Structure 1
Amino acid sequence: MTLRSTLPLAPYLPGGLVAPAQLYRIAEIGEKYGATIKLAGNSIVILGLSPEDRALALAELGLNDQSLSAKAIRSVAICAGKPFCPRALQDSTALGLALEDRLYGTKLPGKLRIGVSGCPNACSEIFIKDIGLYGVAAGYTLVVGGSAGRNAQAGRMIANKVPSAEVLSLIGQILDYYKKYGQPDERLGELISRRGFEDFAVHLGAD
């Protein structure tokens, strides 16, 4: 028996936010092509498409697709945040979408995931992201080096009470370090472990 070759399709939905009309359309496409739809993190993945049907489905959706293997910054994971969550201390949605707009798809030595949560409950799992932020009353706490991969590890807090207006600049310094010293396929946390946290901290303090 010859197995049918299939490819996944993950429509690009910034921040995991999807309009009701888009959700209906994704469901219609899945039904049309006999696919399975899976919710994965802040993505919707359409499974079981032949290469030909995948191309047709993407065109019909009118959306871009996001790579599931690119060595780049992936879509930013964000929690519900303000005004939807009463626990939110910061507007994680606004910050997450701003980071997405500026950083999504940036090429790096390996993949990099960013998570933003509006409070210390960290619903977007920021401690296992390469770069994570959670809201506190006076700004954001920044966490780096987390990973949920085969070498899972929790991130390390490196800054507290960071104003939202300063987050992008600080992340830019982290990305500069990663681009300069990262080896192919090396995650940010692995790089920091290899070179030592002190080396990483000196780089962030240089500016």
Structure 2
Amino acid sequence: MLCREAIPMKSTIPEKNAIIQRDGETYVIAPRTPGGIVDPATLRKIADVAEKYGAATLKMTSEQKMAIVGLKEEDIDAAWSDLGMDAGIVTGPFVKGVKFCPGTTFCRKGQQDAVSLGMKLEARYRGMKLPYMMKMAVSGCPSSCSEPVIKDVGVMGTAKGYILMVGGAAGLKPRLADVVAKGLSEEEILAAVDRIVEFFKDYGENRKRLGTIIDEIGLEEFKKEVGLWEK
């Protein structure tokens, strides 16, 4: 009996920001759309590219990016070229895209400007390489539509300023974030997150989320390490 040469399985292509799909043949790409805020022209361009290259569907992801699903490998480069947009990093030990709600920019319930803070955090950290992934979210009010309580760094707006939470996670071992500071301004949040990210760079380990590290060293020790306090 003749042995047939095995056909190599396709896989995710990090350098092209393309993730292999369940069929093992096609890919998804997700151009960067911070906070999911886009104008009609950008949406039309994404739709046109999806249609041109025969994509299976479009999907807004949990990171508020518009994913083009079901592209052939040979069309990935051309699709990115036609989009002319920044690629959304899809895999690896990075700060993921910051998730944020409309805040006071659009929402009648907003108590703080989640869009301004979310955009600043996105520009500051997104794609930064770390020992393991880190997720961030900002909500403009206690409704917490962006789910900050299950993010490594979560920020929730209130009438008295921002509440800062750390160590949240979903997944197989869910963990609610710990409140470490209240009544903060946007500037104070940015300074505190800087210190948290630097801490994670120094203490982080492969496949270990921030919440796990906090559980190992204790919340009070973590707050001391990064200079956090509750007002």
1:24–1:193 distance in 2 versus 1, CA, 3 Å: same
1:190 pairs with 2:197:
no
Instruction: Note if 1:129 corresponds to 2:151.
Output: yes
Q: Deviations over 1:123-149 (max 9, x none)?
A: 111111111111111210001111122
**Amino acid corresponding to residue 162 of structure 2 in structure 1:** Y
Q: Is it true that 1:203 corresponds to 2:225 in the alignment? A: yes
Q: State the match for 1:181 in structure 2.
A: 203
Alpha-carbon distance between aligned partners in 2 of 1:147 and 1:54, rounded to the nearest angstrom: 32
Q: 1:62 to 1:206 in 2, by over 3 A?
A: closer
The corresponding residue for 2:183 is: 161
Where 1:202 maps in the other structure, the secondary structure is helix
Q: CA deviation at 1:159?
A: 0.6
What is residue 15 of structure 2 aligned with on the other side? none
Cα pair distance change 1:101/1:192, threshold 3 Å = same
Which residue in the other structure is 1:39 paired with? Answer: 60
> Is the 2:192–2:228 contact (alpha carbons within 8 Å) kept by the matching residues of 1?
no
> Unmatched 5+ residue regions in structure 2?
1-6, 8-22
Pair 1:157–1:31, CA change in 2 (3 A): same
Q: Which amino acid aligns with 1:189?
A: G
Aligned length, in residue pairs = 206
> 1:32 corresponds to which letter in structure 2?
K
SS in 1 for 2:81: helix
The DSSP-based 3-state class of the residue aligned with 2:155 is: strand
1:34-66 CA distances to partner (integer Å, 9 max, x unpaired)? 211111121111111122211111110001211
Relative to 1, partners in 2 of residues 1:68 and 1:4: Cα closer, same or farther, differing over 3 Å? closer
The answer on whether the counterparts of 2:89 and 2:127 sit within 8 Å (CA) in structure 1 is: no
TM-score (norm. length: structure 2): 0.84
Q: Where in structure 2 are the equivalents of 1:132-151 lying within 5 Å?
A: 132-151=154-173
26, 29, 51: which one aligns with 2:49: 29
CA distance in 2, matches of 1:148, 1:22: 31
Mapped partners of 1:4, 1:188: distance in 2: 32
Q: Which runs of 5+ in 1 are unaligned?
A: none
Deviations 1:57-93 (A, max 9, x none): 1110001211221211111111011131111111110
In 1, Cα distance between equivalents of 2:115 and 2:159: 16
In the TM superposition, 1:17-96 aligns within 5 A as: 17-35=37-55, 36-41=57-62, 42-96=64-118
Residues 8-53 of structure 1: per-residue CA shift (max 9 Å, x gap)? 1010112221111010111111111121111112111111112221
RMSD over equivalenced CA pairs, Å = 1.7
Task: Give the corresponding residue for 2:10.
Answer: none
1:15 pairs with 2:29: no
Q: SS at the partner of 2:109?
A: coil
**3-state SS of 1:83 partner:** helix
**Aligned mates of 2:101, 2:137 — CA distance in 1:** 8
One-letter amino acid of the counterpart of residue 102, structure 2: A
Residue 183 (structure 1) shift: 0.6
Q: Matches of 1:25 and 1:148 in 2, distance apart?
A: 33
Identify the match of residue 134 of structure 2 among 100, 112, 123: 112
Cα separation, 1, equivalents of 2:170 and 2:42: 29
Distance 1:206 1:123 in 2: 25
Post-superposition offset of 1:4:
5.9
